[in-house]
A and B are shown apart, each in its own frame.
Chain A
Amino acid sequence: MKAIPLAYSVRNLWTRRLTTALTAGGMALVVFVFAAVLMLDAGLRSALVATGQPDSILVTRRAAGTEIQSGIERSQAAIVETSPEIATGPDGAPVVSKETVVLIAQPKRDTGVATNITVRGLGETGPLLRPQVRIVEGRMFRRGTTEIVVGTSIAERFERTGIGERLRFGGREWTVVGVFDGAGSGFDSEVWGDGDQMMQAFRRNAFSTVVARLADPASFDALKARLESDPRLTLDVKRERRFYEEQSEVLSNFIRILGLTLSVIFSVGAMIGAMITMYAAVANRTAEIGALRALGFRRGAILVAFLAEALALAFVGWAVGIAAASAMTLVRISTMNWQSFAELAFSFRLTPEVVGQSFVFALAMGLAGGVLPALRAARLKIVDALRAA
């Protein structure tokens, strides 16, 4: 079947510029929302995935959903530490960090309202287990002191977190001596200090979590099985990445479900706009349709031509929408992660998947809006169409 030249469909969009702009504009808005939601979710996930190392494990008390809910007795921590699967460092000591994790409420710079931020007291190998973290200003805290370092997101958004300033918690004053870059991970929103100091300040006897590096990442299953079946222990052992992934599940699901539901609802509006436009196009060009059929173009060719027009409309909408969405990559979101109850900053991330999915979505809108008018065009009887001239 020979098709009507594509120029026919595309140039008709250009001829009715205002209508095309309005209709494509509506679609662009929908694509923008759709893409932005997917980008937000991608940003959230990548922030949390970037938080964990592929060869590290994170141990919490059994059934503790978050690090702050977890408590591990010294004796239990020691058992984990001496497990053979744990890697040893250059000094021969196991690469294990027994950590104390708490939340403190600090006022934000822009609103002055207090929000919970994560304070992490690290063991000696703590920084070693987070190779993605780099000090970008000042220096690392010294062990045995009440010095702390803050992530870039904290320094940016919270009061009293500049170098030389002090935070007050646990009955002591802690001095900020450096700012670190967590490479877009969850650590960007944390405050780090000496774990022993923090345990003393909070009068604790138990650690919150134990983070350790595996000598061989594949030995994870064996270690997990052994530790979880040990009657002396009440622990959950997870790959660090998986743990942080789970931390984001509720928020991620919420963003995705709400966002996608909204996109679908909005797309109905844009689709209706496309339908109105295409019905009008068919009505205005009835005589042309008759002429094309008289010349020998088949019904199918007419159908394809009008569908192509609707799809071209959707394509324009997609291009504008995705361009606008990509501008969102400059925006960083800072909110409380419901599961960890702590501040988390992440950004919009444009991935090839987002580009592809939004493209399909836009085309689907165009197709849904254009199919009925295109069918009407194709079903016209030649004599009726010509009579309308």
Chain B
Amino acid sequence: MQFLKLVLRNALRHKLRTGLTVAGLVVAILAFGLLQTVVDAWYAGAESAAPNRLVTRNAVSLTFSMPLHYREKIRAVDGVRAVGAANWFGGIYQDPKNFFPQFAIDPAPYFAMYPEYRIREDELRAFLRDRKGAVIGRKLAETHGFKLGDTIPLKGTIYPGTWPFTVRAIYDGAEAKTDTSQMFFHWDYVNETLKARAPRRADQVGVFVVQIDDPSRSAGIAQAIDRQFVNSLAETLTETEKAFQLGFVAMTEAIVVAIRIVSFVVIFIILAVMANTMAMTARERIGEYATLKALGFAPGYVARLVFGESIALALIGAALGIAATFPVSAAFGAKMGTLFPVFEVSGATIALQVACALAVGVAAAILPGRSAARIRIVDGLRAVG
């Protein structure tokens, strides 16, 4: 207790310097936490993937489609419980900046496969009844203020023309990490409109979402599905939903890696600041350390004083920085809107923040602590006069 009191009182002796150092720590820990959360958000899709869902796409690339009749063939594969078609719509709502995912889906099997999208019974029925209806997520509704009954006009890029959809249902996520920034509408409606406008492009599916009975058989079932279509015009590639989502992340891997690296750069910046502070502080107190040693305190005690102060500062800064991470993340996530649909501070991030702060506190104190412990009493006392 005595030791702790000494450490804290020492820290408060130079209020300006201590205050500035802690402020620097707060900024650094906050920035670090924010960046780690951005990286987490990148992987959010993969995180919320279910083990009993597979995704089937054209083997050449996601930008090629598959014929609609594949649906029945996939359904017939052993182990498959349900199949739903899904096409990436890629429309623009007012301005390309207002990006959010839109999918044309087989409504009946799709929502059964995604129990994490919680929809009210009556709203789902209203959607099923209205061919031009749409289901939107809570985050999307909040971002643009959409309410039940509103019309959302989308300007098609892949499917040309203007497409108005009516909001019939708003879904909530079962967990915090569920994406509620999406919009779903009827695949049939899009397809029929396409048959009228550009018949050659109709009856083409972007991906099939496949629900299977037994997740442990996913590899075998995936291969069985793909075997169905070998040597056909549109060969398929089936993988678990997680692998599919990770594929996207992998394509922009360079950026994710860069952000991770940069998040540690800020830790090094604050390490330099802390080390500087501790070095200056220790240098100014040489006389006191020498006096303590003259009085009989062991060199280890003096070193512990230095470490204690450094770690105490680091932990205070970390605590404040972590506390600030939550509101700042929330604000950032709200600002990003549907670009980062899931923006949650994870437990792992907080643990990392604490670990980094501790590491900084320890590292900054190593050299000053060592030289303080080693100071010769005679030299130290002379330096005072």
Picked from A32, A115, A276, A336, the residue with its CB within 8 Å of the CB of B276 is A276
Tell me if A170 counts as interface (CB < 8 A to partner B). Answer: yes
Q: State the interface size on chain B (CB cutoff 8 A).
A: 51
Which of A140-148, A175-183, A264-272 contacts the other chain?
Answer: A264-272
Which residues of A are found within 8 Å of B378, using beta-carbon distances?
A: none
Tell me if B7 counts as interface (CB < 8 A to partner A). Answer: no
Q: Is the CB of A336 within 8 A of B251?
A: yes
Tell me if A297 counts as interface (CB < 8 A to partner B). Answer: no
Tell me if B156 counts as interface (CB < 8 A to partner A). Answer: yes
Which residues of A are found within 8 Å of B212, using beta-carbon distances?
A: none
Tell me if B16 counts as interface (CB < 8 A to partner A). Answer: yes
Which residues of B are found within 8 Å of A22, using beta-carbon distances?
A: 272-273, 275-276, 279
Which residues of B are found within 8 Å of A232, using beta-carbon distances?
A: none
The distance from the CB of B158 to the nearest CB of chain A, in whole angstroms, is 5
The distance from the CB of A259 to the nearest CB of chain B, in whole angstroms, is 8
Tell me if A357 counts as interface (CB < 8 A to partner B). Answer: no
Q: Is the CB of B265 within 8 A of A33?
A: yes
Tell me if A300 counts as interface (CB < 8 A to partner B). Answer: no
Q: A22-B272, A111-B253, A335-B253 are in contact. Are A269 and B24 (CB under 8 A)?
A: yes
Q: Is the CB of B276 within 8 A of A105?
A: no
Which residues of B are found within 8 Å of A268, using beta-carbon distances?
A: 24, 27
Q: Is the CB of A62 within 8 A of B252?
A: no
Tell me if B376 counts as interface (CB < 8 A to partner A). Answer: no
Which residues of A are found within 8 Å of B38, using beta-carbon distances?
A: 258
The distance from the CB of A244 to the nearest CB of chain B, in whole angstroms, is 16
Give Cα A104–Cα B235 distance, bound, in whole angstroms.
Answer: 12
Which residues of A are found within 8 Å of B17, using beta-carbon distances?
A: 276, 279-280
Q: Is the CB of A335 within 8 A of B276?
A: no
Give Cα A68–Cα B65 distance, bound, in whole angstroms.
Answer: 13
Q: Is the CB of A114 within 8 A of B268?
A: no
Q: Is the CB of B160 within 8 A of A334?
A: no
The distance from the CB of B39 to the nearest CB of chain A, in whole angstroms, is 12
Give Cα A336–Cα B277 distance, bound, in whole angstroms.
Answer: 43
Residue of B nearest to A70 (CB): B157
Q: Is the CB of A69 within 8 A of B61?
A: no
Q: A63-B160, A272-B23 are in contact. Are A23 and B276 (CB under 8 A)?
A: yes
Picked from B20, B157, B275, the residue with its CB within 8 Å of the CB of A275 is B20
Q: A62-B160, A272-B24 are in contact. Are A105 and B60 (CB under 8 A)?
A: yes
Q: Is the CB of B158 within 8 A of A69?
A: yes
Residue of B nearest to A37 (CB): B262
Q: Is the CB of B273 within 8 A of A269?
A: yes
Tell me if A64 counts as interface (CB < 8 A to partner B). Answer: yes
Tell me if B233 counts as interface (CB < 8 A to partner A). Answer: yes
Q: Is the CB of A170 within 8 A of B60?
A: yes
Tell me if B79 counts as interface (CB < 8 A to partner A). Answer: no
Tell me if B351 counts as interface (CB < 8 A to partner A). Answer: no
Tell me if B269 counts as interface (CB < 8 A to partner A). Answer: yes
Give Cα A203–Cα B31 distance, bound, in whole angstroms.
Answer: 51
Tell me if A25 counts as interface (CB < 8 A to partner B). Answer: yes
Tell me if B62 counts as interface (CB < 8 A to partner A). Answer: yes
Give Cα A310–Cα B20 distance, bound, in whole angstroms.
Answer: 17
Which residues of B are found within 8 Å of A258, using beta-carbon distances?
A: 38, 259
Q: Is the CB of B273 within 8 A of A102?
A: no
Tell me if B35 counts as interface (CB < 8 A to partner A). Answer: yes
Which residues of B are found within 8 Å of A277, using beta-carbon distances?
A: 276, 280
Q: A29-B265, A33-B265, A334-B254 are in contact. Are A272 and B21 (CB under 8 A)?
A: yes
Q: A269-B28, A279-B17 are in contact. Are A105 and B273 (CB under 8 A)?
A: no
Q: A205-B200, A265-B31, A272-B24 are in contact. Are A171 and B233 (CB under 8 A)?
A: yes
Q: Is the CB of B266 within 8 A of A269?
A: yes
Tell me if A103 counts as interface (CB < 8 A to partner B). Answer: yes
Tell me if B148 counts as interface (CB < 8 A to partner A). Answer: no
Q: Is the CB of A266 within 8 A of B250?
A: no
Tell me if B115 counts as interface (CB < 8 A to partner A). Answer: no
Which residues of A are found within 8 Å of B255, using beta-carbon distances?
A: 335
Tell me if A169 counts as interface (CB < 8 A to partner B). Answer: yes
Q: Is the CB of B247 within 8 A of A113?
A: yes
Which residues of B are found within 8 Å of A279, using beta-carbon distances?
A: 16-17, 20
Q: Is the CB of A114 within 8 A of B280?
A: no
Q: A103-B61, A105-B60, A273-B24 are in contact. Are A115 and B251 (CB under 8 A)?
A: yes
Q: Is the CB of A68 within 8 A of B273?
A: no
Tell me if B216 counts as interface (CB < 8 A to partner A). Answer: no
Give Cα A104–Cα B266 distance, bound, in whole angstroms.
Answer: 38
Q: Is the CB of B272 within 8 A of A19?
A: no
Write the residues of chain B forming the contact surface with A, with a CB cutoff of 8 angstroms.
16-17, 20-21, 23-24, 27-28, 30-31, 35, 38, 59-64, 90, 96, 155-158, 160, 200, 233, 237, 246-247, 250-255, 258-259, 262, 265-266, 268-270, 272-273, 275-277, 279-280
Write the residues of chain A forming the contact surface with B, with a CB cutoff of 8 angstroms.
18-19, 22-23, 25-26, 29-30, 32-33, 61-65, 68-69, 102-105, 111, 113-116, 169-171, 203, 205, 234, 250, 258, 262, 265-266, 268-270, 272-273, 275-277, 279-280, 333-336, 338, 341, 343
| 9 cross-chain pairs, A with B, having the tightest CB-CB distances, nearest first | A336-B251, A273-B273, A272-B24, A26-B272, A22-B276, A113-B250, A335-B254, A105-B61, A103-B63
Can you spell out 24 A-B residue pairs with CB atoms less than 8 angstroms apart?
Answer: A18-B276, A22-B273, A22-B276, A23-B276, A26-B269, A63-B155, A64-B157, A68-B63, A69-B157, A102-B61, A102-B63, A103-B62, A103-B63, A105-B59, A116-B62, A116-B251, A169-B60, A171-B233, A265-B27, A272-B20, A275-B20, A279-B20, A333-B254, A335-B253
A272-B20, A276-B21 are known; give 5 further A-B pairs, CB within 8 A: A63-B157, A104-B61, A265-B31, A273-B273, A335-B253
